């Protein structure tokens, strides 16, 4: 796992000053005013990198990039990186070589913003380390807990009652009432009655197929008399004399003479 870890760059600052610092004589902390700030012992470039959970402060040459010293950091804030009491631009770091020897030196930035970036890069890295540690701890605790077995045992069955399914509103689903004629009617309201569909009127085909019963026949004597009367009636009517007058205007003359005391009319018309 250590071989698969890659190194990432957290912060790069092109100008950094390195100072030799006197040993600390009390517990009050380091003070930058005790250093020779106008005469730094070395000047170069600073890079902050990380590999896994460990951060590294690397002091390199500006031109060639050759490593001058590096300080591995396992915890921040801690003994590997400390701030000074009288300035925010200066820090004390613990450098180590490959043989296990270590020494404390002072570093300082000309710009206050560079010092701020350096401090924040270390804080962000170790905040991430803390979160990773908590996550891995929770996962280990979850693995040690007994797992809940929700599977069916051999021969175990489950029964589902489909008939008691609830509707969307949360109530039980009501069955539909099937009325006459194959129509599906909704259930009546509480306390109501089911409305019976009206009977359709008889169709024209049924009226056409209706048979009228034959009339009741009368007695033979009455029927014979009626038949004779029916036969005599046209004959009698045919024997009646028809008075035909040759004078078509006679009726008009008779009608005019029958009117009494009628004054004669002066007219050019001929009187009939």
Position 117 pLDDT exceeds 90 = yes
Bond prior to 79 in cis (omega within 30° of 0): no
Q: Tell the residue number behind the tokens 């194959």, with chain if given.
A: 182
SS3 readout for the chain: CCCCCCEEEEEEEEEEEEECCCCCCCCCCCCHHHCCCCCCCEEEEEEEEEECCEEEEEEECCCCCCEEEEEEECCCCCCCEEECCCCCCEEEEEEECCCCCEEEEEEECCCHHHHHHHHHHHHHHHHHHHHHHHHHHHHHHHHHCCCCCCCCCCCCCCCCCHHHCECCCCCECCCCEECHHHCEECCCCCCCCCCCCCCCCCCHHHHHCCCCCCCCCCCHHHHHHHHHHHHHHHHHHHHCCCCCCCCCCHHHHHHHHCCCCCCCCCCCCCCC
Question: Domains plus CATH for the chain?
Answer: 7-139 (2.30.29.30)
- Enter the pTM of the model: 0.51
What pLDDT does residue 99 have?
82
pLDDT in tens, 5-56: 788 999 999 999 999 998 877 777 888 888 888 899 999 999 999 998 899 9
What pLDDT does residue 67 have?
92
Position 181 pLDDT exceeds 60 = no
pLDDT in tens, 69-98: 999 999 888 889 999 988 899 999 999 987
Position 162 pLDDT exceeds 70 = yes
């Amino acid at each position: 796992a250590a071989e698969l870890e890659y190194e990432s760059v957290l912060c790069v600052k092109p100008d950094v000053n390195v100072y030799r610092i006197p040993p600390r004589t009390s517990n009050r902390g380091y003070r930058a005013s005790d250093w020779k700030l106008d005469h730094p012992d070395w000047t170069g470039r600073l890079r902050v990198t990380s590999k896994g959970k460990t951060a590294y402060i690397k002091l390199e040459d500006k031109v060639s990039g050759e490593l001058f010293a590096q300080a591995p950091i396992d915890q921040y804030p801690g003994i590997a990186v400390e701030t000074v009491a009288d300035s925010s631009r200066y820090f004390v770091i613990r450098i180590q070589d490959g043989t296990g020897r270590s020494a404390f030196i002072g570093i300082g930035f000309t710009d206050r913003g560079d010092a701020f970036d350096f401090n924040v890069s270390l804080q962000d890295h170790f905040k991430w380390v803390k979160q990773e540690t908590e996550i891995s701890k929770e996962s280990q605790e979850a693995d040690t807990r007994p797992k809940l077995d929700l599977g069916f045992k051999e021969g175990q069955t489950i029964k589902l009652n489909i008939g008691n399914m609830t509707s969307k509103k949360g109530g039980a689903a009501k069955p539909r009432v099937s009325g006459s004629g194959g129509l599906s009617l909704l259930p009546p309201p509480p306390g109501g009655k089911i409305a019976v569909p009206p009977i359709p009127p008889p169709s024209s085909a049924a009226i056409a197929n209706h048979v009228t019963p034959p009339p009741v026949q009368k007695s033979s004597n009455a029927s014979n008399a009626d038949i004779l009367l029916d036969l005599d009636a046209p004959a009698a009517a045919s024997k009646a004399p028809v008075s035909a007058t040759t004078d078509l205007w006679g009726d008009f003359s008779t009608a005019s003479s029958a009117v009494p005391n009628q004054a004669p009319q002066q007219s050019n018309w001929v009187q009939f």
